[in-house]
Amino acid sequence: MTNTAELSVDRKYKMYEESVQNPECDIDFVINEYKKCFGRIPHTLREDFAGTGFMACEWVKRSKDNYAWAIDLDSEPISYGLKNHYVTLNSEEQNRMKYLESNVLSDLGFKVDAVVAFNFSYYIFKKRQELLEYFSKVFNALNEQGMFFLDLFGGTEAYAPQIEETEHESFSYFWDLEMFNPLNSECLYYIHFEDHKEGVRYNKVFTYDWRMWTPRELMEVLEEAGFKEVKTYWEGEDGQGGGDGNFFETQMASGCNSWVTYLVAVK
């Protein structure tokens, strides 16, 4: 059964976060890789395209020395984050966590140890010059010991229209590649949800009109933006044809049907 009605704001972001976000693992990765590079733990984080600011709120919980800023243009997910994540912080933690309804291309007036752009959010930039402008803004927003963390995805399955279903306890999540144009790498994705209890499917809850960037393209633009080094990573295998959730630095990887990984740019 398909429902043309929209999910409530609370339900759609709750389902989204449960389906695609794991801030604890992302924070662990940021801290570990930063410490390997600079010999110390990072304390200031800017979460770009932050949506609900889930990761930024979790960041300030890690240490009384941690500060975070969640940047997003859309007031709707920010409002959800304030009501569902910010309120879980104590007053001291709230003083170290800020939501900014702003453009990541703006000069925000502060510098941080680490900037993250996760969930492939920067794919919204379809032109190389736009991507270079964004990466340059990030470079200038980092402290001298600064790192920029991005995730990306690919594989042969990323170029063929298909719907991938993931079942959760009370709902199913659908990642739908509607269109991929091989001539310009532009693609159109949707997220659908199906409520198990109601037996109702909610279509096109989220829409992503993107350009799919390759690791090599991203590395070249990051270097042009001024980063002195770009580290590439790959996920270990679980022995059953899937990933094990552990990412290691490497410059070689085997082709596969589907992959998700990180790039880390060092200032």
CATH no. for residue 125? 3.40.50.150
Tens digit of pLDDT per residue, the chain (267 long)?
555 567 899 999 999 999 999 999 999 999 999 999 999 999 999 999 999 999 999 999 999 999 999 999 999 999 999 999 999 999 999 999 999 999 999 999 999 999 999 999 999 999 999 999 999 999 999 999 999 999 999 888 888 888 999 999 999 999 999 999 999 999 999 999 999 988 899 999 999 999 999 999 999 999 999 999 999 988 777 666 566 677 767 787 777 778 889 999 999
Query: Pick from 211, 228, 249: which residue ends a domain?
Result: 211
Domain shared by 65 and 105, yes or no: yes
- Dump pLDDT digits (tens) for 179-212: 999 999 999 999 999 999 888 999 999 999 999 9
74, 167: one domain: no
Residue 219: how many CA atoms within 13 Å on its side-chain side?
11
Residue 160 lies in a domain: yes
What's the predicted TM-score (pTM) here? 0.94
Q: Are residues 219 and 207 in the same domain?
A: no
- Write down the pLDDT at residue 199: 87
- Give a yes or no: residue 120 inside a domain: yes
The answer to whether residue 3 sits within a structural domain is no
- Same domain (yes/no): 149, 38: yes
The count of structural domains within the chain is: 2
At residue 181, the pLDDT reads 95
22 with 101, same domain: the answer is: yes
Q: What was the pLDDT predicted at 250?
A: 78
Residues 167 and 56 in one domain: no
Asked which of 182, 211, 240 is the last residue of a domain, the reply is 211
pLDDT of residue 141: 98
pLDDT of residue 167: 92
Does residue 40 lie in a domain region? yes
Structure tokens at 16: 């989204």
- Residues 195 and 221 grouped into a single domain: no
Q: Residue 234: what pLDDT?
A: 80
Asked if 127 and 226 sit in the same domain, the reply is yes
d(CA 53, CA 80): 9
| Rounded Cα distance, 201 and 221, in Å | 40
Do both 138 and 166 map to the same domain? no
Q: Which of 165, 187, 211 is the last residue of a domain?
A: 211
Residue 57: give the domain boundaries.
Answer: 9-154+213-266
Q: Is residue 4 assigned to a domain? A: no
pLDDT given for residue 244 in this prediction = 67
Q: Is residue 68 part of a domain?
A: yes
Residues 21 and 129 occupy one common structural domain: yes
Contact 92, 65 (CB under 8 A): no
* Burial of 154 from C-beta contacts in 10 A (0-12 / 13-18 / 19+): middle
Residues 79 and 140 both lie in one domain: yes
Are residues 202 and 262 located together in one domain of the fold?
no
In this predicted model, what pLDDT tens digit does every residue of 132-160 receive, in sequence order? 999 999 999 999 999 999 999 988 888 88
